[in-house]
């Protein structure tokens, strides 16, 4: 099967407008005869559900949490980008487009990214109209801040809780439609398979997580907005429930999986503290606006700190190595995430790490506290030479900007970041890979769409800060509502789809068989035992830096672990009840397949780009070495029975508007 | 650390349920409370027993999914945190810890420590929104300037995570703090004014239907709220409600 990206013809800036002008529309009276299933109610699924319901479709929305408001999007901290140029610092649709393509290391699809930049400004207008309390300046206008990888302030935010506020906005829009009966909401339901009838997606099989009942749900189209698969690493910044099941199950039924190895490692997370650790906590990247990153300049100082003989504050300015400012003078602490993460790893690997395990660097606010404090003292006409006063005033300003993050850090680490620098280390954060979709956001299964983090389309090999929220809401509020109509237009006379069709029966049986197998397995180890083992293989061999040898080993080890899992996993309780271990088992089963494809994809990509760093391919200075000649394509994998047999399809990436150049932040 | 856990076990909504003792050892002060329960569950599974069911997802204090009544306090002894942010350093070696579900008529138990908080959703369906189309064809965001003070106050109210600690803490099982937070968020914004009257009437009506109790101004909710949602919001909601009733 050939991949058709369906990118419209014409100049980039007209593509989306022209496309909208020419697609098929569904008459409002016919929309109520069409059912749409939406799996996931994060920013992508939630905004899509609300908008499609408002347009008149019958929407059935699913999430595994007890309420749509708890989707993982709620945790996003830093902000959302939009090309509004409110600051007059030179931002524009083109510049946002350019930064995103460049930041993605030229592995994103130009047409999609341009569309994203075009609709970005509408997102802010929409959210503000819905009552999302974004940060304001004293004059009452919206405030902005800057984020890694860009030189303009285009990020809108709501303290350190931007995702929360945006999600609650989408949730409120959903609530309005639920109240009107246009959305039927299925909380605590997990999609466990897709149903395909005559080659088209026509429904899903879901498990009611409270009763354990397996249910059949039909629709004219299925939209998957199930989020990312970072939890394949076990430890990540994702919520504990985040999983790949919906995306993986559609992959097994025909949806190609694109660029699985593109994973973003976020530079500013709280380091691992012990074996008991269940997840990693992100400290928003916005902290890099004011925090300076450093390690001791001398190894012996680093050693003394690790042994508790010295403190960070004992080292003078000259005894510190501000390695980002040193290596990348133009962007300094604001280099993109992949660059910042690798630079931290490089210093720690070289013996300069500052926590017990040697895997942490400092993020220091002392300079910012002093700068803000001095400024404030001047403004208030107080004594700017009074160090204690300056520190107090400065700390207050820092608190107003990042207070909740500082509190979060304090609660976890038990150290006060106002007086001692934070310790941070990179952690798995966001997955740029996902189900392959065309310009319409449709997968290779007709009628099955994929939006938000679960698709692959807009970020390339690397994601700049504040762009995932933007993509989730763009897909859900503004893109899918057009493209799905174009697909559904011929279906208006179809009528309701029966769940008695043999395809539903067969899919349900498959799901029940898998569950019975887990419940009846008389194994000896818990699900987490296997998940942690998988995570360790992934981090050690498929993590921040990869090489052919490690990847080859990882592929074998994951396959072996999968076999062991099926033989030896123990799932207590029964199928017909609330059973959290069973939920985990079905998710980890899918991670154990995805992990292998992930490593296979990383192995075949003989280049370094963005979040994919192959040790064999780097410049003399240790920067990522891309190979545009041979790898400027999307790797889309077709499932053929097991991950090792997956077949590679290539979607060549054509850059008509942006010249491919080596990414440099020097 | 060595601890004795006294945990509420209840097979399902129909089951009567009761406290079961679990001694546990090797707990580190760095662990979060939920990681401590993970350790317990791993041990139970290895012994062939059923693990304790509890709700959780983000584990960073923002999704509102975790609950737990710990030693008689919603989210446990620490202030301004959710259960997932509570760390074992708050306890001492040898402690006995009582762990129970949030109890309220409007929050029926599903299993063990997991309760059903969908009554909160239904209150939101009744009016927790601003009725605008989601087409993006709205006015430029900066044409609705909002005084920073109001915007910040609105944000503070909007920071509620819907965890239900306020209900679990209240001797009347009142949902006033939660509902007033949403009412306040919109009442403070110009966008929310248009349908303010209907909103407060509908939400309060639904709150009563769900079986939440009345507010008697005890203030326990504010003390236990992990997000510092202020009682001021309840006062604001009462004002909104009163004026809406007079108009209504
Ligand atoms: C800590 C953190 C901070 C972040 N900060 C930022 C930031 O500042 N800016 C930014 O742009 N991005 C940020 N991101 C990234 C961003 O939050 C996510 O990429 C984005 O929210 C994903 O949205 P989504 O709608 O695609 O998926 P999610 O929000 O993950 O939603 C997934 C939905 O799918 C449902 N679901 C999943 N599987 C199933 C199934 N099988 N059956 C039924 N339902 C299912 C879930 O219940 C949920 O409703 C951050 C991410 C993290 C982890
Ligand atoms: S008001 Fe506080 S305690 Fe009540 S639901 Fe909201 S965050 Fe939880
Ligand atoms: S698990 Fe999300 S708030 Fe505790």
Task: Give the residue-averaged pLDDT of A567-596.
Answer: 98
Question: Chain B: nearest CA to A526, how far in angstroms?
Answer: 7
- Chain A residues near residue B138 by CB distance under 8 angstroms: 125-126, 129
Summarize pLDDT for B84-126 with one digit per residue, the tens: 999 999 999 999 999 999 999 999 999 999 999 999 999 999 9
Q: Which of A130, A144, A157, A209 to mutate to test the interface with B (most CBs of B within 10 A)?
A: A130
Query: Is the Cβ pair B134, A47 closer than 8 Å?
Result: yes
Q: Which ligand is nearest to the CA of B227?
A: 2
What is the number of the ligand 2 atom nearest to the C-alpha of B175? Answer: 4
A652: phi then psi, degrees, rounded to nearest 5: -65, 140
Check pLDDT > 80 for residue A150. no
**Best mutation site among A70, A75, A156, A190 for testing chain B: the one with the most B CBs within 10 Å?**
A70
What is the pLDDT, as a whole number, of residue A161? 92
Ligand 1, atom 14: closest residue by C-alpha: A76
**Residue B248's pLDDT is what?**
60
- Partners of residue A47 in chain B, C-beta under 8 Å: 134
The SS3 assignment for B204 reads helix
C-alpha A181 to ligand 1 mean position (Å): 25
Which pLDDT value is given to residue A589? 98
Report yes or no: B53 at the A interface, CB cutoff 8 Å: yes
- Per-residue pLDDT, A13: 96
Min CA distance, A164 vs chain B (Å)?
A: 8
A286 in contact with ligand 1, CB cutoff 6 A: no
Question: Residue A633's pLDDT is what?
Answer: 97
Which comes out higher in pLDDT, residue A557 or A1? A557
- The answer to whether residues B24 and B3 touch, using CB atoms and an 8 Å cutoff, is yes
Residues A433 and A441: their CA atoms lie apart, in Å, by 14
Q: Which of A276, A405, A527, A533 to mutate to test binding with chain B, by most B CBs within 10 Å of its CB?
A: A276
How many Å apart are CA A636 and CA A88, to the nearest integer?
Answer: 40
ipTM score of the complex? 0.98
Query: What value does the CA radius of gyration of chain B take, rounded to a whole number of Å?
Result: 20
Cβ pair B145:A139 closer than 8 A: yes
- Inter-residue contact A581 to A631 (CB < 8 Å): no
Which of A278, A530, A579 is the best residue to mutate to test the B interface, defined by the most B CB atoms within 10 Å of its own CB? A278
pLDDT digits (tens, 9 = 90+) for B187-227: 999 999 999 999 999 999 999 999 999 999 999 999 999 99
Asked if pLDDT for residue A664 goes beyond 80, the answer is no
Does the structure show a pLDDT above 80 at A147?
A: no
Provide, as residue numbers in chain A, all residues whose Cβ is less than 8 Å from the Cβ of B110.
Answer: 210, 578
Closest ligand 1 atom to residue A70 Cα is: 49
- How many CA atoms, within 13 angstroms, populate the side-chain half-sphere of residue A646? 32
In eight-state DSSP terms, residue A519 is: H
Q: Do B159 and A276 touch (CB under 8 A)?
A: no
CB distance A148 to A465 below 8 Å: yes
The finding on whether A341 has its CB within 6 A of some atom of ligand 1 is no
Q: Whose CA is nearest to atom 4 of ligand 1?
A: A76
Q: Is the CB of B179 under 6 A from ligand 3?
A: no
Q: Measured between beta carbons, which residues in chain B are less than 8 angstroms from residue A142?
A: 141-142
Contact map slice: B 121-150 vs A, CB within 8 A: 121, 124-136, 138-142, 144-148
Distance A580 CA to ligand 1 centre (A): 20
Radius of gyration, alpha carbons of chain A: 25
- Residue B83 CA to ligand 3 center (angstroms) comes to 7
Give the model's pLDDT for residue A314. Answer: 95
**Cβ neighbours of residue A280 closer than 8 Å, sequence gap 6 or more:** A235, A236, A237, A269, A270, A272, A427, A428
Ligand lying closest to the C-alpha of residue B66? 3
What is residue A9's DSSP assignment? P
Which are the contacts of A414, defined by CB distance < 8 A and separation ≥ 6? Answer: B30, B87, B89
Residue whose CA lies nearest to ligand 1 atom number 27: A227
| Band of pLDDT at residue A285, cut at 50, 70 and 90 | confident
* Pick from A70, A126, A210: CB nearest B65: A70
Dihedral sign for Cα atoms in the order B90, B93, B95, B97: positive
Chain A residues touching B14 at Cβ < 8 A: none
Count the neighbouring beta carbons within 10 Å of the beta carbon of residue B247: 9
pLDDT-derived band at A613, boundaries 50, 70, 90: very high
| CA-wise closest residue to A438 among A610, A229, A262, A258 | A258
Residues of A in contact with B132 (CB under 8 A): 126, 129-130
| pLDDT at site A336 | 84
Which residue of chain B has the CA closest to A405?
Answer: B60
- Within 13 Å, how many C-alpha atoms sit on residue B150's CB side? 18
Is A82 a residue whose pLDDT tops 90? yes
Q: Which of A107, A154, A337, A342 is catalytic?
A: A337
Q: Which of A131, A140, A187 lies closest to B186 in CB terms?
A: A131
Q: Is residue A159 over pLDDT 90? A: no
- The mean of the pLDDT values for chain B is 96
The lowest-confidence range among A40-44, A77-81, A645-649, B177-181 is A77-81
A528 near B CB under 8 A: yes
Q: For this structure, is A337 an active site residue?
A: yes
What is the pLDDT, as a whole number, of residue B210?
98
pLDDT band at A338 (very low <50, low <70, confident <90, very high): confident
For residue A279, give the nearest of B59, B124, B145 by CB distance. B59
pLDDT at A367: 95
CB-CB neighbors (< 8 A) of B12 in chain A: 577-578
Mean pLDDT (chain A) is 95
Instruction: With CB atoms and an 8 Å threshold, state whether B124 touches A279.
Output: no
In the prediction, which pLDDT does A148 show? 65
- B81: enclosing H helix or E strand: none
Q: pLDDT for A222-256, tens place per residue?
A: 999 999 999 999 999 999 999 999 999 999 999 99
Query: Is the CB–ligand 3 distance for residue B226 below 6 Å?
Result: no
Quick one: which H or E segment has residue A178?
helix A162-179
Q: Which residue has the tokens 């999986």?
A: A257
Does the pLDDT value for residue B234 go beyond 80?
A: yes
What is the per-residue pLDDT across A427-470, written as a single tens digit (0 to 9) for each? Answer: 999 999 999 999 999 999 999 999 999 999 999 999 988 999 99
Nearest CA to ligand 1 atom 50: A76
pLDDT tens-place string over residues B149-167: 999 999 999 999 999 999 9
pLDDT digits (tens, 9 = 90+) for A163-192: 999 999 999 999 999 999 999 999 999 999
CA B225 to centroid of ligand 2, rounded, Å: 5
Atom of ligand 3 at shortest range from CA of B85:
4
């Amino acid at each position: 099967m050939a991949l058709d990206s369906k990118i419209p013809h014409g100049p980039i800036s007209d593509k989306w407008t022209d496309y909208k002008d020419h697609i098929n529309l569904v008459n409002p009276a016919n929309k109520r005869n069409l059912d749409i299933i939406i799996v996931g109610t994060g920013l992508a699924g939630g905004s899509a559900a609300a908008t499609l319901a408002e347009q008149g479709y019958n929407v059935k929305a699913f999430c595994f949490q007890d309420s749509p408001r708890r989707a993982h999007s709620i945790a996003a901290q830093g902000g959302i980008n939009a090309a509004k140029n409110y600051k007059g610092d030179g931002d524009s649709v083109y510049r946002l487009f350019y930064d995103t393509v460049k930041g993605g290391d030229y592995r994103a699809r130009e047409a999609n990214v341009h569309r994203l930049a075009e609709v970005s400004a509408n997102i802010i207008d929409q959210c503000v109209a819905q009552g999302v309390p974004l940060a304001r300046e004293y004059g009452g206008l919206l405030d902005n801040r800057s984020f890694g990888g860009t030189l303009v302030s285009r990020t809108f935010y709501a303290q350190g809780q931007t995702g929360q506020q945006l999600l609650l906005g989408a949730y409120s829009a959903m609530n309005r439609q639920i109240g009107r009966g246009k959305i039927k909401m299925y909380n605590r339901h997990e999609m466990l398979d897709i149903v395909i009838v005559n080659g088209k997606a026509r429904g899903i099989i879901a498990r009611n997580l409270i009763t354990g009942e397996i249910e059949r749900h039909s629709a004219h189209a299925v939209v998957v907005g199930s989020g990312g698969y970072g939890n394949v690493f076990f430890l990540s910044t994702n919520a504990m429930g985040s999983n790949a099941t919906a995306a993986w199950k559609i992959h097994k039924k025909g949806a190609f999986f694109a660029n699985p190895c593109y994973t973003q490692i976020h530079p500013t997370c709280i380091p691992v503290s012990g074996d008991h650790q269940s997840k990693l906590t992100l400290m928003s990247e916005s902290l890099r606006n004011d925090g300076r990153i450093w390690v001791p300049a001398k190894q012996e100082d680093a050693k003394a700190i690790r042994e508790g003989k010295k403190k960070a504050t004992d080292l003078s300015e000259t005894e510190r190595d501000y390695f980002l400012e040193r290596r990348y003078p133009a962007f300094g602490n604001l280099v993109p995430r992949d660059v910042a993460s690798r630079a931290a790893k490089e210093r720690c690997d070289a013996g300069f790490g500052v926590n017990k395990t040697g895997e942490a660097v400092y993020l220091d606010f002392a300079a910012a506290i002093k700068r803000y404090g001095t400024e404030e003292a001047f403004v208030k006409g107080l004594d700017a030479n009074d160090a204690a006063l300056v520190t107090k005033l400065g700390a207050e300003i820092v608190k107003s900007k990042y207070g909740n993050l500082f509190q979060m850090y304090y609660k976890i680490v038990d150290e006060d970041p106002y007086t001692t620098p934070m310790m941070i280390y990179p952690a798995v954060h966001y997955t740029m890979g996902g189900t392959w979709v065309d310009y319409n956001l449709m997968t290779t299964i007709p009628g099955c769409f994929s939006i938000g983090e679960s698709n692959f389309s807009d970020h390339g090999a690397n994601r700049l800060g504040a762009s995932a929220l933007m993509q989730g809401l763009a897909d859900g509020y503004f893109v899918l509502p057009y493209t799905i109509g174009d697909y559904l237009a011929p279906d208006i006379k179809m009528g309701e789809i029966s769940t008695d069709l043999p395809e539903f029966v067969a899919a349900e049986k498959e799901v029940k068989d898998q569950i019975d197998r887990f419940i009846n397995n008389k194994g000896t180890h818990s699900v987490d035992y296997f998940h942690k083992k998988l995570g360790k293989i992934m981090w050690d061999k498929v993590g921040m830096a990869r090489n052919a040898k490690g990847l080859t080993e990882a592929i074998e080890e994951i396959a072996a672990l999968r076999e062991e899992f099926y033989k030896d996993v123990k799932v207590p309780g029964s199928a017909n009840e609330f059973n959290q271990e069973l939920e985990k088992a079905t998710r980890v089963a899918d991670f154990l397949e995805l992990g292998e494809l992930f490593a296979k994809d990383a192995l075949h990509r003989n280049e370094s780009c963005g979040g994919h760093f192959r040790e064999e391919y780097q410049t003399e200075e240790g920067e990522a070495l891309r190979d545009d000649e041979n790898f400027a394509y999307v790797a889309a994998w077709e499932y053929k029975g097991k991950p090792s047999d997956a077949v590679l399809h290539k979607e060549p990436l054509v850059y008509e508007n942006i010249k491919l150049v080596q990414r440099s932040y020097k | 650390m060595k601890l004795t856990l006294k945990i509420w076990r209840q097979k399902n909504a129909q089951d009567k349920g009761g406290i079961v003792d679990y001694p546990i050892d090797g707990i580190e002060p760095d662990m979060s409370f939920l990681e401590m329960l993970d350790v317990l569950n791993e041990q139970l599974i290895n012994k062939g027993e059923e693990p304790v069911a509890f709700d959780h997802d983000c584990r960073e204090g923002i999704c509102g999914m975790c609950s737990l009544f710990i030693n008689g306090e919603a989210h446990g002894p620490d202030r301004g945190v959710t259960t997932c942010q509570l760390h074992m350093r708050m306890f001492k070696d040898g402690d006995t810890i009582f762990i129970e579900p949030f109890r309220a008529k409007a929050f029926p138990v599903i299993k063990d420590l997991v309760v059903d908080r969908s009554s909160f959703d239904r209150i939101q369906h009744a009016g927790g929104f601003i009725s605008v189309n989601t087409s993006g064809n709205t006015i430029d965001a900066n044409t609705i300037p909002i005084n920073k003070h109001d915007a910040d106050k609105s944000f503070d109210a909007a920071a509620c995570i819907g965890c239900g600690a306020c209900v679990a803490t209240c001797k009347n099982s009142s949902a006033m703090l939660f509902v007033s937070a949403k009412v306040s968020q919109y009442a403070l914004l110009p966008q929310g004014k248009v349908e303010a009257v209907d909103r407060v009437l509908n939400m309060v009506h639904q709150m009563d239907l769900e079986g939440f109790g009345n507010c008697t101004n005890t203030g326990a909710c504010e003390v236990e709220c992990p997000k510092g949602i202020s009682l001021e919001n309840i006062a604001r909601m009462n004002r909104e409600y009163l004026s809406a009733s007079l108009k209504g």
